[in-house]
């Protein structure tokens, strides 16, 4: 029987799951690991490591070890958020075709989808080894706040990895599936999703097997990595005061400090204090220096309090959009490794007035939900799955509009509209004899063009010369169940139809995708 898998392609860690005999399960590698670091390393002697072996190289070869690449997927180099990410990476990132980022590793220039594909290919390999059969179909999850370009780039990464991506779904929505599967809840549920690189908050109404998203909001640059950075910065400042040595100037040693701080963060989720130790962190005229410190949970909480508070600004935005109060929510589901932090759990309980639910593991909930959705999308689902077919009614995370006269943006599709959705607008010529209409499409909430993300341009040409306003063009904006936009235009005078799938234009063409997939598959 053909099986489809669910993949949680995370910023820091990824995992893969499947539904067998009606039961969703996360698939472990041959070492028993349920999650894999989203890390890719290019070795000096040739060859590529992915996952745990690659993560082991972050502290010794940071220039050729790529991590958190999800921060760049679907972005251009002139994007301020891309610039923020690039500035934090030790590996070299430069502008490629159409200003898309490329990573330079040992003389090779690799696109972001290509690097993401290595992680997806590892997920595929783990699934095939555990299931004992080929796996080609997958549902891949993305942050709820991902825009159109980021979703399309994720789909391209899947294709390079040899996967037929049958659906892209939002991570919090997937987690709600794992929480509500076979339980037939009738509840208002909040998903508080604090991952390694992003934070999302989603409100859903669960009615038996129907999961309807009411609102969603997110912060693309708030995650567990920031907690590591906060602790590492405090430790580095203390070391500088004691020794006069600035650890952040040495890329290799700074990576070692960050990795040690991540381990301490995890330890502090279980204990009130933890020891931090990095051997031979600095070399001086007097000899080699080690870094050691005892970190208390109280100190860690004080360093990270503002980061946790930032998450609740996102929560309040989503609640306001849905016109819901915290006390209206029946259950809060925690998702993402950062929610293991006691400060986060206590803050959630304080804000909502009740303890969050613990039915699902925060680190594997997203992959499990993706697997449930994958199983339900198969042409012939198993009888166990068929009786629990779920209906997902998701929403648009960003408004989509067009650039009107004067350079202002007019919204066509509003944020938090249910998808799939379709809207049409009629445009007419603005001057006598006009032979073409250019429709510039953007994504965002502002009326100001410069505050929005450009998605593309649709040109309707060969119009009949006529007085202004006489020739009309019907433009239809459609967002599918993957959250991907398609725009069509029809010249009402001639009946000609123009179509544009708005995606990451020019990053990788069809030939490049096929060639990269072939090269990776060898």
Catalytic residues, which ones?
Answer: 8, 70, 171, 193
With tokens 């972005």, the residue in question is: 75
**Cα distance between residue 348 and residue 337, in whole Å:** 15
Per DSSP bridges, beta strands 437-443 and 13-20 are unpaired
Sequential DSSP letters for 365-429: HHHHHHHHHHHHHSSS--HHHHTT--EEEEE-SS-EEEE-GGGBEEEEE-TT-EESEEEEEEEE-
Sequential DSSP letters for 187-205: EEEEEEEE-SS-EEEEEEE
Nearest CA-CA partner of 435 in 459, 404, 457: 459
Question: Side-chain half-sphere of 91: how many Cα atoms within 13 Å?
Answer: 29
What's the CA angle centered on 214, arms 487 and 82, to 5 degrees?
60
Question: Side-chain half-sphere of 227: how many Cα atoms within 13 Å?
Answer: 35
Q: How far is CA 411 from CA 424, 426, 437, in A?
A: 12, 14, 18
Question: Side-chain half-sphere of 94: how many Cα atoms within 13 Å?
Answer: 9
Q: Nearest 5°: phi and psi at 485?
A: -90, 140
Cβ partners under 8 Å of residue 88, min gap 6: none
> Per DSSP, what are the bridge partners of residue 293?
276
Q: Give the distance, in angstroms, between the CA of residue 10 and the centroid of all CA atoms in the same chain.
A: 7
**Cα distance between residue 255 and residue 391, in whole Å:** 44
With tokens 């390079």, the residue in question is: 160
**Cα distance between residue 219 and residue 256, in whole Å:** 27
Cβ partners under 8 Å of residue 487, min gap 6: 439, 441, 456, 458, 475, 476, 477, 478, 499, 500, 501, 502
H or E stretch covering 59: none
> Per DSSP, what are the bridge partners of residue 294?
275
Nearest CA-CA partner of 226 in 84, 358, 352: 84
List strands edge to edge, sheet with 400-403. Answer: 409-413, 400-403, 437-443, 453-460
**Cα distance between residue 148 and residue 201, in whole Å:** 19
16, 42 contact by CB (below 8 A): no
List strands edge to edge, sheet with 92-95. Answer: 92-95, 101-105, 108-111
């Amino acid at each position: 029987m053909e099986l489809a898998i669910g993949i949680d392609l995370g910023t820091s860690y990824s995992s893969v799951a499947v539904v067998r005999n009606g039961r969703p399960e996360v698939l472990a590698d041959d070492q028993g690991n349920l999650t894999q670091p989203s890390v890719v390393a290019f070795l000096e002697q040739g060859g590529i490591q992915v996952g745990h072996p690659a993560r082991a190289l972050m502290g010794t070869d940071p220039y050729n070890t790529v991590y958190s690449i999800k921060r760049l997927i679907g972005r251009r180099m002139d994007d301020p958020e891309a610039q923020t990410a690039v500035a934090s990476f030790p590996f070299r990132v430069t502008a490629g075709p159409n200003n898309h980022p490329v990573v330079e590793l040992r003389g090779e220039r690799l696109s972001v989808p290509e690097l993401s594909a290595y992680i997806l290919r590892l997920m595929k390999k783990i699934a095939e080894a555990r299931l004992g059969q080929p796996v080609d179909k997958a549902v891949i999850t993305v942050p709820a706040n991902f825009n159109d370009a980021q979703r399309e780039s994720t789909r391209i990464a899947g294709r390079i990895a040899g996967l037929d991506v049958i659906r892209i779904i939002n991570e919090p929505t997937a987690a709600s599936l794992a929480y509500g599967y076979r339980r037939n809840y009738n509840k208002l549920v909040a998903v508080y999703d604090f991952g390694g690189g992003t934070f999302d908050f989603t409100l859903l109404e669960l009615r038996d097997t129907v999961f309807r998203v009411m609102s969603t909001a997110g912060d693309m640059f708030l995650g567990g990595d920031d907690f590591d950075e906060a602790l590492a910065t405090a430790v580095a400042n203390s070391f500088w005061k004691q020794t006069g040595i600035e650890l952040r100037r040495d890329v290799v040693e700074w990576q070692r400090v960050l990795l040690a701080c991540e381990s301490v963060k995890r330890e502090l989720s279980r204990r009130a204090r933890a020891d931090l130790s990095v051997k031979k962190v600095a070399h001086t005229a007097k000899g080699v220096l080690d870094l050691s410190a005892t970190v208390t949970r109280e100190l860690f909480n004080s360093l990270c309090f503002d980061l946790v508070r930032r998450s609740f600004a996102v929560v309040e935005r989503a609640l306001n959009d849905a016109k819901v109060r915290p006390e209206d929510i029946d259950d809060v589901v925690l998702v993402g490794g950062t929610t293991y932090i006691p400060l986060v759990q206590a803050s959630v309980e304080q804000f909502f007035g009740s303890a969050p639910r613990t039915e699902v593991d925060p680190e594997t909930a997203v992959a499990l939900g993706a697997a449930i959705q994958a199983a339900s999308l198969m042409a012939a689902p198993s009888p166990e799955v068929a009786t629990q077919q779920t209906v997902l009614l998701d929403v648009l995370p960003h408004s989509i509009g067009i650039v009107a006269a004067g350079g202002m943006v007019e919204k066509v599709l509003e944020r938090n509209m249910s998808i799939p959705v379709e809207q049409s607008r009629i445009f007419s010529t603005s001057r006598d004899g006009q032979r073409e209409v250019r429709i510039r499409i953007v994504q965002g909430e502002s009326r100001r063009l410069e505050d929005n993300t450009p998605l593309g341009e649709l040109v309707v040409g060969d119009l009949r010369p006529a007085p202004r306003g006489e020739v009309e063009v019907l433009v239809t904006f459609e967002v599918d169940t993957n959250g991907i936009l398609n725009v069509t235009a029809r010249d009402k005078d001639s009946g000609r139809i123009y179509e544009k799938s708005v995606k990451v234009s020019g990053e990788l063409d069809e030939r490049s995708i096929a060639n990269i997939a072939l090269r990776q598959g060898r």
